[in-house]
Copies of this chain bind each other. A is one copy, B any other.
Amino acid sequence: MNSGWKITKEGKEPNLDNPIFIEGLPGIGNVGKIATDFLIEEFKAKKLYSFFSYKFPHSVFVNEENLVEMPKIEIYYKKFNGKNGKNKKRDLLLLTGDIQPIDEESCYTFCEEVLKIVQHHKCSEMITTGGIGLQQVPDHPKVYCTSNDKKLYEDYVKKDVLIEKDIFGTVGPIVGASGVLLGLGKMHKVKGVSLLAETFGHPMYLGIKGAKEILRAIEKRFNYGINLEKMSKEIIEVEKELMKKTKEWATEITSSTQAGAKGKDEETSYIG
């Protein structure tokens, strides 16, 4: 645990074929997490790595079985069967989790570990995802793109009319793993883009619409056959339930809490 990160591998390592890496950790509107979790669910992706660090929040969560769970950061993979055919899909590595690394240094050391995995599996392309917090709910959230590589950036904005070309001047710094993976990626010659969807910057807002637009852009480029129709009203209810855990971690991290547990007197419901 030299870098401060303990990484546990689950089962045998798959032999992935030209995989794409997609990151979707919690953040503004949880846009990236919603998109990535949806892909994991849809493609029945399998867990491959779990991350743990002493810089995690020092608390546990009670799950539906009344058992404790530590916060999770995990990488899943999806191996598609198609080989060399016209409709062949590129395999996937998917990073999701309940939390973001807690501070500057642990964000950097975490992203270094992730990049080692990305390079180990010979991913030639990373997609990090996230939200752009607006001060009101966007009717039709736009998706913006930035990259650590000029050619890759042009590829994304050329091929796919669904992505806004000009992000400069539109957003401030990109905070967290979505930004740092690209920054450190450049140092390690791992190319990647960040797809950022507009969303409402309110802490209780679930950016499902924005997540849908990110998935639409990914679908347009890679033809995975993502069923975007599923991202309807029904999923919103499911997501609201699932996201409670993520929200509670976020609250716990930002407020200095006394040891013990807080009773849920007031229901904290998501808007979305």
Question: Which residues of A approach B to under 8 Å, CB–CB?
Answer: 25-29, 31-32, 52, 54-70, 100-105, 107-109, 130-135, 145-150, 153, 157, 165-180, 182-184, 186-187, 194, 196, 198, 201, 203, 248-252, 254, 256-265
Contacts and interface: CB of A to CB of B under 8 A. Distances in A.
A262 B196 CA distance: 10
A134 B233 CA distance: 34
B172 A68 contact: no
A176 B58 contact: yes
Nearest to A4: B105
A68 B260 contact: no
A4 to B, nearest CB: 9
A158 to B, nearest CB: 13
A260 B67 contact: no
A68 B259 contact: no
A54 to B, nearest CB: 4
Given A61-B173, A135-B263, 16 more contacts: A27-B259, A28-B262, A29-B260, A56-B108, A58-B104, A59-B175, A60-B173, A62-B174, A65-B168, A66-B147, A67-B146, A130-B261, A133-B260, A170-B264, A171-B261, A173-B248
B172 A259 contact: no
Given A132-B262, A133-B263, A180 B67 contact: no
Contacts of A173: 57, 59-61, 248-249, 252, 261
Contact of A171 (B25, B186, B249, B264): B264
A104 B104 contact: no
Contact of A259 (B25, B146, B170): B25
B133 A68 contact: no
23 contacts: A28-B259, A28-B262, A54-B109, A55-B104, A58-B175, A59-B173, A60-B173, A65-B150, A65-B168, A66-B168, A67-B146, A68-B174, A70-B184, A100-B259, A131-B260, A132-B263, A172-B264, A174-B260, A175-B259, A176-B260, A178-B259, A178-B260, A201-B263
A101 B105 CA distance: 13
A1 to B, nearest CB: 11
B31 A260 contact: yes
Contacts of A264: 169-172
A15 to B, nearest CB: 29
Nearest to A103: B58
